[in-house]
Structure 1
Amino acid sequence: MVIHPFLIKFAGSVITAKDMMLKKNFLWAIQLFIIILSGCSKKTVVSSSSSEYREDLSSVRPRFEYVEPSVTPKAAPVTTPKASTAPKPDVDKPLYVNKRLETVLDTLAKHNKSIRYVNGFRIQMYVGNVRQEADDAKSYVYQAFPDLIPYVSYTQPTYRVKVGDFMYRTDAEQYLELIRERYSSAVILSDRVDIKRSLMINPTAESN
């Protein structure tokens, strides 16, 4: 069998191209293997170096001696109690309540002393236009009833003579009976009376 030289040449070229592809793939595989190996070798070196490195640095380290600090206890400040300026109530004294009561009573007494007049009664014994008759009624009161005070008022043309400072109507009624023996028209009227003068009246003594 005779093979044409062209076929032989073509077959040789086909084989050569196939070999080239294999070589190229082989080179790529080798390069990839080297890259992988180099990466693993670096990690191995780092890990091995970090684990194997041992050095004693105690000789060059600075040394400090620890000294326990001495603590002296502070003395607590002495505080003296301040004297209170507020007056303390006399709780322990048994007469404390009585003193307060006396103070209140003194205040009431002073207030009562300032009140001079109260509503009371007087006896009107004369009403007229003659001044002489009004003066006679006034003189009669001084003579017959020395503990009573006569009051003469004048509103033109009338004179009025009232007598007494009675806080109670019953006291005025006892004097009214005696005054009517001479002045029958005498009557009891409400009026403002002097407290001190009313206390000086003793209707019981006059009635006896």
Structure 2
Amino acid sequence: MKTRIYITALMSLLFACSPKTAVKQTSYHESLAGYVPDYSQEAGEIDRRQPVIAQTPAEHPVSDDSEGLAKQYASFKARSENSYSTMYSIQAYSGTSREKARSIRATILRQFPGLMPKIEWRQPVYRVKVGQYYNRLEAYSTFRELKRSFPTTLIVPDKVILAKEIDDWPQER
């Protein structure tokens, strides 16, 4: 047993005292000259004083109907597969009680006559939501007012289906 201890101590002393060998660092250098294209002018020098203008005839008639194009683009965009947009609403209540949802809606109508709360029901939860805003910052002022009366008020994202025709789009919110 003692011999093992002595051998272990001797081995650790020998390995601890051995000089560390460092790998010699060399810089890496590779020539990419064979892969770079040669842009030197050979036979015909380009006259740099006159700009080169290519004149290509239009394939289709050109019109200045930018409003019509904007309508077509908006209509196409509305009909596309991704016809959803993320809007933000203020959720004043979320729970299973229909009576409580109705009373909170009535309270909001009394206290804040400019707001139009709506009750959503997705089984088994009733939600009272107010407004549709493009971003959280826009909803924040109304959120602060509602938060005083309803402490559980939240700003929540909603997916809104975009109108299918450009004429159906509301002009004002």
With the length of structure 1 as denominator, give the TM-score of the two structures. 0.41
Specify the structure having the higher radius of gyration (Cα): 1
